[in-house]
Amino acid sequence: MTQTWLTQEAADRLQSELTFLEGPGRKEITAKIEAARAEGDLKENGGYHAARDEQGKMEARIRQLKQMLDTAHIGTPPASADGKVGSGMVVTAKIAGDEMKFLLGSREISSGDLDVYSENSPLGAAVLGAEIGMKVSYTAPNGREISVEIIAAEFYT
């Protein structure tokens, strides 16, 4: 399992979202469900079913936030001792001839200033564990083989 690092700012932002969803967010969705329920027949009540779907998505997000905040390390990550690309790092790479900078990890740890690639994406899986200067490749969804050269990697702050 990979280590997830959150800056204090990212952790605070996620905690704020969680607090809202668990408090006012739940009250808001409960009120929507009650209002739709008062309209009568639930079998053909689109508003009721939409509110229940919204509630399910919100509860899933609450679980995701709790899990992330419970398991993430908060603060400044240690300098990479092994010189390999890992989760939570900003990677500078030459991809198909163009230089690109991206964050390897989860959107939740980013403040939106970088493109984010999951470790499970084709690009993320290719660069994960690669060393600076190394050339790797991955197969794009269209079937094309894409070459990637790792130029630099540093922890996102």
Percent residues over pLDDT 90 in the chain: 48
Percent residues over pLDDT 70 in the chain: 89
CB atoms within 10 A of CB 125: 14
* For helices 46-71 and 8-20, angle between their N-to-C axes, nearest 10 degrees: 150
**Distance separating alpha carbons of residues 82 and 137, to the nearest angstrom:** 21
Q: Which residues contact 109 (CB under 8 A, 6 or more apart)?
A: 4, 5, 6, 7, 10, 88, 103, 156
Is 115 a residue whose pLDDT tops 80? yes
**Distance separating alpha carbons of residues 21 and 41, to the nearest angstrom:** 28
Q: How confident is the model at residue 7 (pLDDT cuts 50, 70, 90)?
A: confident
Mean residue pLDDT across the chain: 87
Q: What is the pLDDT of residue 85?
A: 87
Is 4 a residue whose pLDDT tops 80? no
Tokens of 156: 């996102």
Q: How confident is the model at residue 9 (pLDDT cuts 50, 70, 90)?
A: confident
H/E stretch holding 153:
strand 145-155
Q: What is the dihedral of CA 39, 40, 46, 49, to 10 degrees?
A: 100
Q: How confident is the model at residue 2 (pLDDT cuts 50, 70, 90)?
A: low
Q: Which domains does the chain have, with CATH numbers?
A: 5-74 (1.10.287.180), 89-155 (3.10.50.30)
Q: What would the pLDDT profile of 56-67 be if each residue is shown by its tens digit?
A: 999 999 998 998
Is 81 a residue whose pLDDT tops 80? no
Q: What is the pLDDT of residue 143?
A: 92
Q: What would the pLDDT profile of 145-157 be if each residue is shown by its tens digit?
A: 999 999 998 877 6
